[in-house]
């Protein structure tokens, strides 16, 4: 391991001391660039289904597609912890979850992420028992978009609030090293952050999480679809249009 490599233990120690910055990286070039910025956690997220592959949501992404992108990002040999996102229906049983998590590790990932809490606990426990670090993901779960009929903020009603607390506690007890909180109401995200011993990494969940994660193309302003409010994007799409138009005109 390179001396500068970020470890799961270091990330855990950042809780309460230093905000954790995390971004998605789907290829060699972006992983290298973001790593050079000192971002400690890079996620090969299944959001690549939308922002790279042109699908309407993440439910179309396959293990083969994810492995292709994990390999590309891993070739950058980032100091950042490289986390790979288990896609839709790739962790339905503990055996399937471990087999797919192992494929990611063979492709160069340092850890894996999957969506859900108590509902996927047996798979989470099996992944961790196999020695693979696990990043949790609670709140709005994009892989459930078809079942839920859209992307909804979580934690507004008591049953969701209680469910999030129970899910976060279960993931912690199982040994997750951190938990992504997506579109959780800010007061509930703050409460979860105070209650759990591992870092929370928010996306659209307010300022009080231990860290923040964004889809990198949302941050840069190059995502093909609507960019979420929480991203406050740069406008690199406009910079690309201006540069290409000027180059074309000067031929």
Q: Which residues bind ligand KIV (CB under 6 A)?
A: 24, 43, 45-47, 85, 180, 182, 203, 213, 215
3-state secondary structure of 203: strand
List, in order, residues 6 or more apart from 9 with CB less than 8 Å away: none
Q: What secondary structure does DSSP assign to 91-156, as a single string?
A: -SSHHHHHHHHHHHHHHT-SEEE-SBSGGGHHHHHHHHHTT--EEEEEES-GGGHHHHTS---BSS
Whether 115 sits among the annotated catalytic residues: the reply is: no
Quote the least distance from Cβ 215 to ligand KIV, whole Å. Answer: 5
Cβ-based nearer residue to ligand KIV, 138 or 250: 138
Number of CB atoms found within 10 A of residue 106's CB: 11
Quote the least distance from Cβ 251 to ligand KIV, whole Å. Answer: 37
Quote the least distance from Cβ 103 to ligand KIV, whole Å. Answer: 18
Cβ-based nearer residue to ligand KIV, 191 or 218: 218
- State the catalytic residue, choosing from 115, 147, 182, 191: 182
Task: Report which residue's Cβ sits closest to ligand KIV.
Answer: 45
Token representation of residue 216: 């990198």
Cβ-based nearer residue to ligand KIV, 174 or 203: 203
Quote the least distance from Cβ 222 to ligand KIV, whole Å. Answer: 14
Cβ-based nearer residue to ligand KIV, 47 or 79: 47
Strands (DSSP E) contained in the chain are 20-24, 41-44, 81-85, 111-113, 134-139, 178-182, 200-203, 211-214
∠ CA 52-71-73, rounded to 5°: 60
Quote the least distance from Cβ 140 to ligand KIV, whole Å. Answer: 10
**Among 139, 221, 130, 153, CA closest to 181:** 139
Cβ-based nearer residue to ligand KIV, 47 or 100: 47
List active site positions. Answer: 182
């Amino acid at each position: 391991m390179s001396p500068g490599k970020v470890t799961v233990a270091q990330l855990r120690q950042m809780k309460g001391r230093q905000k954790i910055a995390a971004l998605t990286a789907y290829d060699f070039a972006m992983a290298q660039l973001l790593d050079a910025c000192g971002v400690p956690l890079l996620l090969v997220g299944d959001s690549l289904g939308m922002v790279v592959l042109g699908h309407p949501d993440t439910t179309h992404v396959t293990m083969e597609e994810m492995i292709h992108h994990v390999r590309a990002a891993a070739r950058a040999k980032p100091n950042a912890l490289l986390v790979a996102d288990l896609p839709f229906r790739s962790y339905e049983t503990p055996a399937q979850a471990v087999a797919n998590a192992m494929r990611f590790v063979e492709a160069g990932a340092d850890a894996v992420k999957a969506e859900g809490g108590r509902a996927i606990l047996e798979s989470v426990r099996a992944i961790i028992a196999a020695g693979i670090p696990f990043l949790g993901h609670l709140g709005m779960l994009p892989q459930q978009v078809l079942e839920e009929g859209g992307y909804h903020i979580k934690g507004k009603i008591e049953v969701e609030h209680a469910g999030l607390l129970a899910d976060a506690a279960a993931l912690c007890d199982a040994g997750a090293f951190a938990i992504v909180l997506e579109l959780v109401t800010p007061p509930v995200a703050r409460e979860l952050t105070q209650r759990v011993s591992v870092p929370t990494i928010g996306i659209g969940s307010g300022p009080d999480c231990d860290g923040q994660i964004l889809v990198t193309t949302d941050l840069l302003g190059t995502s093909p679809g609507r960019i979420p409010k929480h991203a406050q994007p740069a406008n690199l799409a406009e910079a690309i249009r201006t540069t290409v138009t000027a180059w074309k005109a000067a031929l």
